[in-house]
Structures are given as C-alpha cells and as structure tokens.
Chain A
Amino acid sequence: MQLVRTEDQELLAKTAADFVAEHSPLSRVRTLRDARDPIGYSPDLWRQMAELGWVGIPFPEELGGAGMGLSELAVVMEELGRVLAPEPFLSSVLLGGGAVMLAGTDEQKKAWIPEVAGGRTQLTLAWQEPGSRHHLQRVATRAEKEGGGYRLVGEKIQVLDGTSADALVVTARVSGADDDPAGIGLFLVRRDAPGLVAERQWRVDSRACARLELRDVRVAEEDVLGEPGAALPVLEEVVDRATVGLCAEMLGGLSEAFDRTLAYLKVREQFGVPIGSFQALKHRAARMFVERELSRSAVMAAAAAMDQGNPEARKLVSLAKARCSDAFVLIGNEAIQMHGGIGMTDEHDIGFFLKRARAAEMTFGDAAAHRDRWARLSGY
C-alpha cells in the first residue's frame, strides 16, 4: 500500500480544485438553505460533474463508468468537501449505485448503472429508521412476500437526497426480530411507486434529507436486489465504501475550516498584535494541524485498502471514520472559538463547518461506534 498520490490523482485533484474555485463557492450552502431549495443541490453543476467523468469514477467502464477506485473518488470528494458541496456523490454514487453494483444481477446493473454513472439517474439508500442510530441491522420496516415481489411497510428517516432520487434502495426485513442480523433484504423502490410518501427533512447542516413512509409499497420481482434475508454483509460493504467517501469529504471540510481559521489568526488583531502570536492559540492551532495530517493518512489508507481488497480494509475504514469524526468536531469547535463573537453569527460562514462536522460524525457511526467496531474486528 503506497500512501502517496499518483500523478493522475494529483491532476484530478487540481482539476477538482479549479472547478470548485470557479463554480462552487461555500456561499452555495447558504443560498440553497435560505431559498429552502427542495432538492438542495444544483442539477446544472451535477451535470457538469458527470461530464467531467467524476460521477462515473468508481463504476466499471463496460457500465459507462471510468473504472477507477475509491482512491480517485476520494480525491474529488475531498475537494468538494472543502466547500461542503451538496451534490449527491454520497447518496447516488456510493450508496444507491454501490448497492446495485454489489447486490444487483447483471441485468439490474445494466439497467441502472450506466444511467447513474452518467448522472442522468439518481439513486439513494434508505436504511436509517427512528431509533436505529448507526446500526445497520436494526431494521423494523417489513417486506412481505406477495406474488413474485414484495410489499413494504415502514418508515425511513434522514434518507440522503431522498426527495430528489429517481429510485431508492430500501432495507426491509423479510424475517426475524428488529435487531436480527439475518432476515434483511434490499429493494429498489421507484419514486412514483404508489404508497411511497417522501417529505423533505431539514437538518442542521442543510444537507438534503427525506423522511419516507412506505405504506404497502409494492416492489416487483425485477426490483429485488440480491437474496432477500441475506443482505447485511453486502449492506455493510456498501456503507463501508460510502464511509470512505464521507471521510474524504470530512477531510476536505476540516482542512478548509482549519485553513480559514489559520488565516484569521494571522489577520485578526487584539491588544495591538495578531491573535495568532498568542501561545495559547498557537499551540492549539499546531494540535489541529497534527489532527489534520493524521486524518489524511487514515483516509488515504482506508481508500487504498478498500481498492486493493486488503484484509484489514474494514478496520482501516473504522480508523478513518473515528479519526475524521473527532478531528472535524475538534476543528469545528476551535474554528468558532478562535473566530470569537463573529464566529457565532449566522452571517459568518465558519459555523457551517461545525454543523457539517456533527452531521458527518453521526452518519455511519461516530468515533465511539467505530472504536467499538475496531475492537470487535480485532477480537476484543
């Protein structure tokens, strides 16, 4: 495992950084929030990102993708994460698209992936439920066999980009108790399916989410993904891959929050000197720098390990998620403290990073949850 970017990856990062500088200022987060934009991202920019080939990065070339890895996708998502760009990489490429790639038949993949990779169709994954926290096996939504297909009843929450997705991969239980690892299935539900009610949820970080009600939603046989009842391992794999992407976004966000704070320490004057000359702040800035460097190593290692099928990959994903969660919250908090009063105002942008930090921390398990998973995977 080499922890250094290839020339191609450097070029990709440069292209992404230039694109962000030209088209995607941080102020987009505020504009979309204040407009109460129903889908919460820019379809126009999403189309451009697809044209640049980014949306298709992790999909095979024969399915319209670029045939690259998580390492390349992470490079792009880090740059987008710097400005908290809300386009649906996480939901459509990694979660929904990932579920079809890993659980779908060849026919299902042919039907969905080229459209997803081209940015023309948007998918997502509906797994979280009230009270499920990050536990993937806590599924109360039921799937009853009906003819060749299934009938879904239940509720899903905080489904990323759930009101704009063309179809949703829904986790539902064909057997067992609510916490049973066995008995979970994956079902593709189209947006216009009768009985599906999706309402926009407004989160602290303004990332678009939906609450779903599934009132006897019928899923045809061809929309059942994988073997109903045995989906948990593949679901974990999908979420692990998505977690790497999320960590890359977090790395971008915490880096940007740190850079902005560092710049402020050099220009803000009190007592006639820049506040960055005070040792109480210098030392804390140095500690944030350390955390950023460690986070970067963890994200690169997790992406490389997943791409190479390294036996330690799952542990490294937990390492990255725990590290980025703690580092992003630390830097989000310190960024506000070091900006002082202005940092507390809604008018200043720095608060967006703390909000995203908490939302990202809670997504796919916080640091404590991933320490516990590390311990389990290590046999203690």
Chain B
Amino acid sequence: MSEAAASRDLPDLDTFREEIRRFLEAEAPPSLRGARGGELDGIWGGRKERWDDKPDRKRWLDVMAARGYTAPTWPREYGGAGLTPAHAKVLHQEMRRLELPPPLIGFGLTMIGPTLLQFGTEEQKRKHLPRIVRGEIRWCQGYSEPDAGSDLASLKTRAVREGDHFIVTGQKVWTSYGDQADWMFLLVRTNPEAKKQEGITFLLMDMDSPGVAVRPIKLISGSSPFCETYLDRVRVPVSNVVGRIDGGWTVAKALLGHERSMIADAFGTGGGRRARNEAETLAGFARRYLGEREGRLADPVLRDRLAQNEMDARVFELTLQRTRDAARAGQAPGPEASLFKLYGTELNQRRQELMVSIAGPAALGWEGPGFSEEELALTRNWLRSRGNTIEGGTSEIQLNIIAKRVLGLPD
C-alpha cells in the first residue's frame, strides 16, 4: 500500500496521539513501565521463547501485534499497522512517555522483513511477514563463513538443485542467536562457475530441517549469542529463494543496508542504555569512582575525555535526527547508513574504554568476589565492544563504502 493510501484512512496526528495514549494506558501492562528492552532483556519471541515466567511480556506483545504496532509502518495486509513515518513517530513518542519497552525486537523486524517487502514474492510475504509481526518466528542471519568475512561474496556454502529443492552444504559463522532462532536467511553459492557476486542465491531455511547443527561461540568477553551453524545436505524448497536464483547478491546488499541502519540506530539512540537518573549517566559513574574537588570531577584529564565522549554522542544523535528530519521534509537523504555504523560503533568503543579508565583496577574483574555486578559487566562490555567495529561490516568496509558511493573516489 502506498503511503498516501495508508494515510487516507488514518486520523490526523493529534487525534492519533489521543487514541494511542488511551490505548497504551489501558492495555500496556503497568509492570513493564520502565522495563528495558535492549538486546539482553528485550522481547524476541519465536517458538523457543519461554513465556511461563513473563506473562506480562507475552500480553504486551499480543496486544501490540494485534494492531500491527510491532511493525507499525508495514502494510496492513501483511500484519503491519500501515502507519506513515509521522504516525509511527507518534506511537514511539507515546511509548517512550510511558517508558515502555519495544513489544518485539529481532532480525525479523529489522532485517528480513524489510527485505521481503522489497524483494519477496506475494506468497513469501503472506507466509512470513504476519508471523514476524506476531513474534511467532525468530530469525537469524546466515551470511559470514569462516573464509568469508569482509569479502562476503567469496562464500562457499553450496546449494545444488535437485528437483524442487536445493541441497545445502557448508558452514556459517557469527550466526547471532542461531541456537534460539526458528528460521535463517542465508546466502549460498548456486553457480560456482560465475563471477563470485553472480553465483549467489538468497534462501530462507527452517532451522528445524534435518542436517542443521548449531554450536555456540565463546568470545574474549565470555559467552556470547554468536554461533557456528553447520549445514549437512539440508533440503530447502526452491520456493524459498528470495529474488532470482544466482541473483542473491542484490538482495544481500539491500539487507546489509537495513542491518547497518539497525546497528546505527541501536548505538545512536543509546539502545537500552539511556540513563534514567543522574547516577546512571557517565558523569554520575565518574563521580563515584573519581570523586570531586571544588565541585568538579577530581581528575581533569578524565573530565576532558568524558566531555569529549558526551559531546561526540550528542553530535551523533543530532546527525541521526537531521537525517530523519530531512527525510520527513522530502529532501534528499543526507549522510549514509555507513556513516552511522562507522561512527556509532567507534563511539561506543571509546565510551567503554573511558569507563574502564574511570573505574581503574575495579574494571579488571572477571568473576567472583571483590567486584560488583556492575564492574564485572563493565569488563565484559568493554571486551565485547571491540567486536562492534567488526560485525555488520568492519569499519574499513564502511570507509570503503563512503569513499566509493558517497565521495565517488575511483577504484
């Protein structure tokens, strides 16, 4: 449905705000107000989700999904709410006002959903999108391989056609939440003779298929959501190809764009880490470890780094806002998603390093007594943040993209 068609039967923004406000106040479980909804504590849904100890979260998901508010801008025929971006913004503002967590998160909403809307067949859209909206199916991403990282197009996982099926054999790595997911979208090589970008196909695969094995990966920061996925003669129906056979690279790149936007957004808006009181701010944290002298943070060098970090974060937020404002005003898009992925992840790394510097020896704990929970998390978060500039396309790849596509520098 076009935006104009969608907006025709939508109320004006003020009326809509009133409606949303009444709806949220009536339907949102009060216990969720102030709850966080980031990667670690968000509502991911899926067949493996255990709702027993969190009925309120299930109810929150269900009431929102029933109205399509888990995917507010998706068309109604696929389970979305058909909202314009302006209406969706109102919805998010009203949710923020009540400090409500997102009713659903995950790669279905942020990556494969938008990609299917763009490239999927009618049948694929009708089958998969409503189940994403309702949180019934959780998705994971099968892109990277042990020998295909930044050079993704060199991937080796083979798919050989046998009648109505592809027989898929190979190994995927860095499959986030592969052990929790129900379906995987993956890239496979269907034509080993063609130029490397031209022999790739984009597939949708049920993780319950025979021949799929998943093993978690331990990182320098300890246990992680990442997995290795082994595929041994897995049968995938040909009807699960998104886009053209051998034409998967176009689909893959479009999805990477959605992924970069998602990562940038997570870092830009602070994800689940927005401070809710003074003690939770970086300054509050620094005050606890450094103390004050004459009303100012006692260490002038760390004070300067702290100001730099806060200012970098603020200007990054402003740039995200500028891009959104320009898009709403119908102006040409400003800086690309690559900019946000690049800057957001490096900013987070600087923040984690600064927090370690501020905490000093208290940031060195791995486990056990003598360190608070917060301090142990600090250490792990710092180590984990080193991966931010690698996953989802390294910083160097983002710089290449900016140089080529934005600045037009020659190969």
A4-B325, A371-B311, A380-B296 in contact; A274/B335 too (CB < 8 A)? no
Q: Which residue of B lies closest to A283 (CB)?
A: B399
Q: Is the CB of A374 within 8 A of B322?
A: no
Decide yes or no whether B410 CB sits under 8 A from chain A. Answer: yes
Q: Chain A residues with Cβ under 8 A from B411's Cβ?
A: 277
**Closest beta carbon of chain A to B5's beta carbon, Å:** 26
Q: Chain B residues with Cβ under 8 A from A372's Cβ?
A: 303-304, 307
A2-B325, A296-B322 in contact; A375/B342 too (CB < 8 A)? no
Q: Is the CB of A322 within 8 A of B409?
A: no
Q: Is the CB of A266 within 8 A of B408?
A: yes
B306's partner among A266, A293, A380 (CB-CB below 8 A) is A380
Q: Which residue of A lies closest to B317 (CB)?
A: A297
Q: Which of B317-364 contact A (CB under 8 A)?
A: 318-319, 321-322, 325-326, 328-329, 331, 334-335, 339, 342-343
Q: Which residue of A lies closest to B403 (CB)?
A: A282
Q: Is the CB of B339 within 8 A of A293?
A: yes
A4's partner among B297, B310, B314, B329 (CB-CB below 8 A) is B329
Q: Chain A residues with Cβ under 8 A from B342's Cβ?
A: 286, 290
Q: Is the CB of B400 within 8 A of A279?
A: yes
Q: Chain B residues with Cβ under 8 A from A323's Cβ?
A: 311, 315
- Whole-angstrom CA separation of A371 from B312 in the bound complex: 11
Q: Is the CB of B304 within 8 A of A371?
A: yes
Q: Chain B residues with Cβ under 8 A from A318's Cβ?
A: 311
Decide yes or no whether B402 CB sits under 8 A from chain A. Answer: yes
Type the 1/0 row for A276-308, where 1 means its CB is closer than 8 Å to any CB of B: 110100110111011001101110110000000
Q: Is the CB of A262 within 8 A of B316?
A: no
Q: Chain B residues with Cβ under 8 A from A282's Cβ?
A: 399-400, 403-404, 407, 409
A266-B409, A286-B407 in contact; A297/B315 too (CB < 8 A)? yes
Decide yes or no whether B283 CB sits under 8 A from chain A. Answer: yes
Q: Which of A67-87 contact B (CB under 8 A)?
A: none
A286's partner among B316, B325, B334, B399 (CB-CB below 8 A) is B399
Q: Is the CB of A375 within 8 A of B297?
A: yes
Decide yes or no whether B308 CB sits under 8 A from chain A. Answer: yes
Instruction: Give the number of residue pairs across the A-B interface with Cβ within 8 Å.
Output: 113
Decide yes or no whether A311 CB sits under 8 A from chain B. Answer: no
Q: What is the total number of residues of chain B having a CB less than 8 Å from a CB of chain A?
A: 42
Q: Is the CB of B407 within 8 A of A262?
A: yes
Q: Which of B389-411 contact A (CB under 8 A)?
A: 396, 398-400, 402-404, 406-411
Q: Chain B residues with Cβ under 8 A from A290's Cβ?
A: 335, 339, 342-343, 402
Q: Is the CB of A4 within 8 A of B403?
A: no
B318's partner among A297, A371, A375 (CB-CB below 8 A) is A297
**Closest beta carbon of chain B to A314's beta carbon, Å:** 13
Decide yes or no whether B188 CB sits under 8 A from chain A. Answer: no
Q: Chain B residues with Cβ under 8 A from A283's Cβ?
A: 396, 399-400, 403
Decide yes or no whether A265 CB sits under 8 A from chain B. Answer: yes
Decide yes or no whether B131 CB sits under 8 A from chain A. Answer: no
Q: Is the CB of A293 within 8 A of B335?
A: yes
Q: Which residue of A lies closest to B284 (CB)?
A: A380
**Closest beta carbon of chain A to B348's beta carbon, Å:** 15
- Whole-angstrom CA separation of A289 from B311 in the bound complex: 18
Q: Is the CB of A298 within 8 A of B318?
A: yes
Q: Is the CB of B304 within 8 A of A301?
A: no
Q: Chain A residues with Cβ under 8 A from B297's Cβ?
A: 375, 380
Q: Is the CB of B286 within 8 A of A380?
A: yes
Q: Chain A residues with Cβ under 8 A from B303's Cβ?
A: 372, 375, 380
B325's partner among A3, A293, A375, A378 (CB-CB below 8 A) is A3
B287's partner among A277, A293, A301, A380 (CB-CB below 8 A) is A380
Decide yes or no whether A340 CB sits under 8 A from chain B. Answer: no
Q: Which of A340-380 contact B (CB under 8 A)?
A: 368, 371-372, 374-376, 378-380
Q: Is the CB of B283 within 8 A of A378?
A: yes
Decide yes or no whether A174 CB sits under 8 A from chain B. Answer: no
Decide yes or no whether A95 CB sits under 8 A from chain B. Answer: no
- Whole-angstrom CA separation of A122 from B304 in the bound complex: 39
Q: Chain B residues with Cβ under 8 A from A294's Cβ?
A: 315-316, 319, 343
Q: Is the CB of B311 within 8 A of A274?
A: no
Q: Is the CB of B283 within 8 A of A289?
A: no
Decide yes or no whether A100 CB sits under 8 A from chain B. Answer: no
Q: Is the CB of B326 within 8 A of A4?
A: yes
Q: Which of B270-304 contact A (CB under 8 A)?
A: 283, 286-287, 296-297, 303-304
Decide yes or no whether A16 CB sits under 8 A from chain B. Answer: no
Decide yes or no whether A139 CB sits under 8 A from chain B. Answer: no
Q: Is the CB of A265 within 8 A of B315?
A: no
Q: Chain B residues with Cβ under 8 A from A273's Cβ?
A: 410
Q: Is the CB of A276 within 8 A of B410?
A: yes
**Closest beta carbon of chain B to A347's beta carbon, Å:** 26
Decide yes or no whether A198 CB sits under 8 A from chain B. Answer: no
Q: Which residue of B lies closest to A377 (CB)?
A: B307
Decide yes or no whether A159 CB sits under 8 A from chain B. Answer: no
Decide yes or no whether A319 CB sits under 8 A from chain B. Answer: yes
- Whole-angstrom CA separation of A265 from B408 in the bound complex: 10
Q: Is the CB of B399 within 8 A of A3?
A: no
Q: Chain B residues with Cβ under 8 A from A266's Cβ?
A: 408-410
Q: Chain A residues with Cβ under 8 A from B322's Cβ?
A: 3-4, 296-297, 300
Q: Chain B residues with Cβ under 8 A from A379's Cβ?
A: 283
Q: Chain A residues with Cβ under 8 A from B319's Cβ?
A: 293-294, 297
A3-B321, A293-B319 in contact; A376/B296 too (CB < 8 A)? yes
- Whole-angstrom CA separation of A293 from B344 in the bound complex: 14
Q: Is the CB of B402 within 8 A of A371?
A: no
Q: Which residue of B lies closest to A274 (CB)?
A: B410
**Closest beta carbon of chain B to A278's beta carbon, Å:** 9
Q: Chain A residues with Cβ under 8 A from B318's Cβ?
A: 3, 297-298, 300-301
Q: Which residue of B lies closest to A287 (CB)?
A: B399
What would 8 more interface pairs be, CB under 8 Å, given A286-B399, A297-B321, A380-B306? Answer: A4-B322, A282-B400, A286-B406, A290-B335, A290-B402, A300-B318, A371-B304, A378-B310
B interface residues (Cβ-Cβ under 8 A, vs A): 283, 286-287, 296-297, 303-304, 306-308, 310-311, 314-316, 318-319, 321-322, 325-326, 328-329, 331, 334-335, 339, 342-343, 396, 398-400, 402-404, 406-411
Which 3 A-B pairs give the minimum distances between C-beta atoms?
A: A282-B403, A3-B322, A286-B402
